[in-house]
Chain A
Amino acid sequence: AQKITQTQPGMFVQEKEAVTLDCTYDTSDPSYGLFWYKQPSSGEMIFLIYQGSYDQQNATEGRYSLNFQKARKSANLVISASQLGDSAMYFCAMREPSGSARQLTFGSGTQLTVLP
């Protein structure tokens, strides 16, 4: 069963505008973590932001914020003031406590293109 769903294969945004990348997840465990990673064309995976299921406030890291709606099981990434360098693939991921394993399950990704 698909645990992480990213429904936007591709997104375009004008430079300096904000953009929201969607992510929904499925888990029956009350304790979980949600992550966003960025993959530029060079290929490396860059950690952006984390949200714990018990966190009361939405996570923020610089221009990145996570719109966490627990009841809807969504964890959308908001990028403010987009820059050309934000053009990349973005992956949402989840970690469920599964014994001592701490691997992440990734969504299919959203390709973001920032237009000048």
Chain B
Amino acid sequence: DSGVTQTPKHLITATGQRVTLRCSPRSGDLSVYWYQQSLDQGLQFLIQYYNGEERAKGNILERFSAQQFPDLHSELNLSSLELGDSALYFCASSGGRSRAITGELFFGEGSRLTVL
């Protein structure tokens, strides 16, 4: 158990809809990262937050947005969903109890999104 909690684990929705994925980082971790894993694109970095502020942006579509709240949990909002958005969405955290020199990311179990 990594200590990172993601909900929901599975989500099935239709094209054009909007969903919100939620992540609670490990206790003490200030950084939250969102990754998308699809069959054709592999693991793609979407966005990072550190203590409530956006720190880095990767290949995140304009239809997607995220935020980190004062209690450090984070939400990833996906709107106007398309078939190609079907993927496993990971949240990861770091910065707390992980060794400062390595800074490995601790991943949640992912949220599997299926867009029909």
Chain A interface residues toward B at CB < 8 A:
33, 35, 37, 42-47, 50, 52, 91, 95, 98-109
Q: How far is the CA of A105 from the CA of B56 in the complex (A)?
A: 13
Residue contact A101 to B55, C-beta cutoff 8 Å = yes
Chain B interface residues toward A at CB < 8 A:
2, 31, 33, 35, 42-43, 45, 48, 50, 55-56, 58, 88, 90, 92, 94-95, 101-110, 112
Contact for B2 among A35, A44, A104, CB less than 8 A: A44
Contact for B103 among A33, A37, A46, A98, CB less than 8 A: A33
Residue contact B104 to A47, C-beta cutoff 8 Å = yes
Question: Which chain B residue shows the least CB distance to A47?
Answer: B104
Q: How far is the CA of A107 from the CA of B41 in the complex (A)?
A: 10
Closest Cβ of chain A to B29, distance in Å, is: 11
Residue contact A43 to B104, C-beta cutoff 8 Å = no
Q: How far is the CA of A43 from the CA of B89 in the complex (A)?
A: 11
- Which residues does chain B contribute within 8 Å of A35, judged by CB atoms? 104
Residue contact A45 to B104, C-beta cutoff 8 Å = no
Q: A33-B103, A43-B112, A44-B109 are in contact. List 18 more A-B contacts (CB 8 A).
A: A37-B107, A44-B108, A45-B90, A46-B2, A46-B107, A47-B107, A95-B103, A101-B48, A101-B55, A102-B31, A103-B33, A103-B45, A103-B58, A104-B105, A106-B35, A106-B42, A108-B42, A109-B42
